[in-house]
């Protein structure tokens, strides 16, 4: 698209905005009528805090960060096109799934936002899993709600509404208490046929909860469930001020249903059809596999969630992703600084990743655990990052970085083995996230870990913000299936790199994973003693 055409689209209000509240960044992505055309981005970095033993973001962080990210977008649009964003066609919001945001009848947040990263819900999750007969992970919103009931938390009698981070921001911008079905499926079990919360699970929870102080049915406390393509409200005057305190943005912009980061990631990687899947790598790392049949058994390693269109999905979610790898790279960034080397962070990442390609297939016998937080798949309530080697290990820079990248995929590949045992067919996995920006490194290792072709598109690094923009554009596209819209509009000319698993890499990773499993006892000892 020419700069003149892009300027015309923005000035006329034809552009669409995607908003992502991720674990480390709030990112905005502005696209044209064809959402494959990205016009501008804006971002604001933030970080979760451990407060009184719980991971959280302050409520003020949400709004200050969102306004700062929009301000950054405005600055980029002004620099590149000489104008400000005043009108928009549609807006889509995506954010970290799960967690706990509870409000009273005046809309006041009762306790600080509890993120997906918290693992204080073991008792509730175990109880609900037995009650429902499906796996209820520690991070699901219903597990958090049940846990505060079991803990006799003082705020419980005042709860009148509960939602996710995306649902909360959407509510404040539009006044609508709604949620996309993908995000909703991480709050409470979903009936994929009826595209709503599971009625039997609602009855079971209400029966279990009848002696508590919660008023009414659980369904009265939850958002209205919508699917991709539905209209979900308009930007109010107060919402426009929250998003753009400068006052340039006009209210009245239409919204699509707010979605979770899993759903927007699936859209951004064209992985919403059965037998496809995607990997999203950030602070956490998770795989989403769209199912073409019901699984035979319940598995604690798998969540059963939904695509933004409501199709059933098996999700392998790992709490720990790229944070430990980033910590290692920061040491080299600092080394470059004190050495007087004028290298950007992206350059250092690329050099280290490319060096990892020269390492031994099994990372030389080195082990890396990225467990900054607990990891339910491997039964850890707490985590301790570890780097382990024996006297006979091949300790080199290439192997050390390779082990760190392998360590990101360790727990994920353990969870994915369950799907192989269920004989779930996979034609491809798409991947997105910053670690895939250096071509042919993390992507190659992931293909070896999962033993399936992995696709990374050129737009993969734009991630969930772009996925949210696509969903917003889709809501204004008329009657068509989401998978068809992605294939025929968004990805029709998409270029991407597909990697087929290499037999030597598969064997090397398999050797690493065998040691990784054995070394979990070391991780357990570290949690117990350090």
- Residue 441: DSSP 8-state: S
Retrieve residue 83's tokens.
């104008």
Q: Average of pLDDT values for 218-247?
A: 97
Give 348 or 192, the one with higher predicted confidence: 348
Q: Which tens digits make up the pLDDT trace of 492-523?
A: 887 778 999 999 999 999 999 999 999 999 99
- pLDDT above 90: residue 213: no
Cβ 368 vs Cβ 386: under 8 Å: yes
Cβ 393 vs Cβ 415: under 8 Å: no
Retrieve residue 97's tokens.
């799934």
pLDDT of 253 reads: 97
463-475 and 261-268 helices, crossing angle to 10°: 80
| Domains 98-259 and 323-458+496-529 in one fold | yes
Q: Is 260 helix (H, G, I), strand (E, B) or coil?
A: strand
Q: What sign does the CA torsion over 436, 438, 442, 447 have?
A: positive
Residue entry with tokens 């409470």: 188
User: Could you give the CA distance from residue 179 to residue 467 in angstroms, rounded to a whole number?
Assistant: 16
Domain ranges of the chain: 98-259, 323-458+496-529
Fold classification of 323-458+496-529 is Nucleotidyltransferase; domain 5 (3.30.420)
The reply to whether the predicted model has a pTM over 0.75 is yes
**98-259 is a CATH 3.30.420.40 domain:** yes
Retrieve residue 49's tokens.
């805090």
Q: Which tens digits make up the pLDDT trace of 488-499?
A: 999 888 777 899
Q: Average of pLDDT values for 77-100?
A: 96
- Residue 107 CA, distance from chain mean position: 26
* 117 confidence band (pLDDT: 50, 70, 90): confident
Retrieve residue 465's tokens.
């913000």
SS3 sequence of 115-175: CCCCCCCHHHHHHHHHHHCCCCCCCCHHHHHHHHHHCCCCCHHHCCEEECHHHHHHHHHHC
Burial 13-22 (b: 16+ CB within 10 A, else e): eebbbbbbbb
Cβ 482 vs Cβ 309: under 8 Å: yes
């Amino acid at each position: 698209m020419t700069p003149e055409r892009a300027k015309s689209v923005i000035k006329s209000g034809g552009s669409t905005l995607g908003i992502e509240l991720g674990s480390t960044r709030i990112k905005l992505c502005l696209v044209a009528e064809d959402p494959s055309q990205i016009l501008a981005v804006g971002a604001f970095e933030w970080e979760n805090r451990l407060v009184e033993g719980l991971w959280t973001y302050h409520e003020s962080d949400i709004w200050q960060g969102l306004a700062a990210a929009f301000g950054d977008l405005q600055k980029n649009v002004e620099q590149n096109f000489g104008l400000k964003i005043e009108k928009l066609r549609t807006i889509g919001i995506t954010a970290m799934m799960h967690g706990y945001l509870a409000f009273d009848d005046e809309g006041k947040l009762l306790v600080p936002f509890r993120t997906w990263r918290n693992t204080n819900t073991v008792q509730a999750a175990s109880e609900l899993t037995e009650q429902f007969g499906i796996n209820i992970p520690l991070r699901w919103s219903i597990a958090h709600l049940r846990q505060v009931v079991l803990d006799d938390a003082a705020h419980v009698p005042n709860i009148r509404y509960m939602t996710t981070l995306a649902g909360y921001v959407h509510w404040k911008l539009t006044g609508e208490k709604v949620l996309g079905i993908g995000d909703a499926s991480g709050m409470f079990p979903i009936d994929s046929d009826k595209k709503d919360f599971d009625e039997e699970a609602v009855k079971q929870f209400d029966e279990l909860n009848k002696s508590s102080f919660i008023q009414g049915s659980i369904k009265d406390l939850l958002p209205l469930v919508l699917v991709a393509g539905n209209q979900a409200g308009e930007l109010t005057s107060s919402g426009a001020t929250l998003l753009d305190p400068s006052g340039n943005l006009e209210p009245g912009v239409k919204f699509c249903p707010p979605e979770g980061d899993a759903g927007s990631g699936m859209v951004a990687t064209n992985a919403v059809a059965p037998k496809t899947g995607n990997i999203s790598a950030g602070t956490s790392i998770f795989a989403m596999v769209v199912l073409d049949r019901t699984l035979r058994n319940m598995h604690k390693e798998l969540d059963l969630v939904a695509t933004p269109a409501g199709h059933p999905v098996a999700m392998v979610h790992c709490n720990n992703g790229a944070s430990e790898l980033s910590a290692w790279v920061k040491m080299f960034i600092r080394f470059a600084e004190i050495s007087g080397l004028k290298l950007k962070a992206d350059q250092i990442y690329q050099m280290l990743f490319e060096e990892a390609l020269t390492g031994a297939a099994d990372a030389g016998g080195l082990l890396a655990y990225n467990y900054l937080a607990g990891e339910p798949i491997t039964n850890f309530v707490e985590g301790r990052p570890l780097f382990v080697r024996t006297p006979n290990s091949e300790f080199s820079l290439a192997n050390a970085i390779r082990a760190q990248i392998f360590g990101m995929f360790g727990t994920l590949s353990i969870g994915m083995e369950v799907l192989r045992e269920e004989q779930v067919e996979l034609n491809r996995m798409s991947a997105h996230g910053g670690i895939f920006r250096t071509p042919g490194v993390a992507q190659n290792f992931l293909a070896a870990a999962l033993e399936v072709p992995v696709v990374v598109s050129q737009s993969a690094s734009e991630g969930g913000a772009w996925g949210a923009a696509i969903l917003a554009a889709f809501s204004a596209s008329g009657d068509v299936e989401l998978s068809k819209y992605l294939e025929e509009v968004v990805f029709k000319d998409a270029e991407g790199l597909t990697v087929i698993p290499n037999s030597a890499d598969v064997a090397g990773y398999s050797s690493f994973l065998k040691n990784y499993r054995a070394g979990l006892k070391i991780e357990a000892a570290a949690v117990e003693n350090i």
